[in-house]
Structures are given as C-alpha cells and as structure tokens.
Amino acid sequence: MTRKAILLLLITLVTQASLSTLAFEGTSEEKIRKHSVKVQAAITKLGVGEMARAEVKLRDKTKLKGFIRSADGNEFVLVNPQTGIATTIEYSAVKQVKGNNLSTGAKIAIGLGIAAGVIIFLHLLFGRD
C-alpha cells in the first residue's frame, strides 16, 4: 500500500513539475519581448555610423542591408548606402540581425599587424649586405 502511495506521489510531483515549466516558458508575446531585448543589445553592440554595417531579416521575411544611423528605445534606423533610403525598424519586427563593426582595439591590432609585416618584408628585402 505504501508503495502505491509513494508511486502516486512521485507521478503527481513529476506531472506538476512538467506543467509548471510549461507555464514559465511564457506566451508568444513574452518570447517576442525577450527576443527584442536581444536584438536591441546586438544593435547597441554594433553602434551607429557608416562603419556599423548590419544585415537584418524581419519577421515578414524582408531582408535589409545597410548601416545603423541611430538607435533608441524601441527602434533603430537602417540606411541603405546605395540608395540613401532610411528605414525605421522596431526591435520587435526583427527576426535576425547580423553585423560587423570592428572595435577600436581590433582596428589597432590589425594596423600593428600590417605594420609589422611591412617592416619584416622591408628588412628581408633591403637588410642584406
């Protein structure tokens, strides 16, 4: 009898734990809000200006490319450099964002690497007697 009671208790606890995790996953609105926060963080990380290039896929399957001119609380502005058309995009409308904007440290490291390569090349070319 106690075996059946323990087994029933375990089944009840496992079922309740499964249902509670489903409840914490949230609604689709909650998922969109969380995704919007991630998109906003990605845009903020890229920065603004002509060097802040981004490729954005929207929820309606539209793809946009350009640079980020400005970013604020709920939206950002993406400018197509070829046409000059600025598009204001809400973070919640974005499905995926890809971008590149080298940090200052990365730019310095690349510059130092190129300079070191040139110095070594010149030394090998003219350094012989």
pLDDT at res. 72? 87
Mean pLDDT score, 92-111: 80
Q: Is the pLDDT of residue 106 over 80?
A: no
Instruction: Pick the more confident residue, 88 or 32.
Output: 88
* Res. 112 pLDDT band, cuts 50 70 90: confident
CATH code for the structural domain at 22-101: 2.30.30.100
Q: Enter the pTM of the model.
A: 0.59
Q: Is the pLDDT of residue 24 over 80?
A: no
Coil/strand/helix, residue 4: helix
Give 89's strand partners. 76
Give start and end residues of each alpha helix (H) in the chain.
Answer: 2-25, 28-46, 104-126
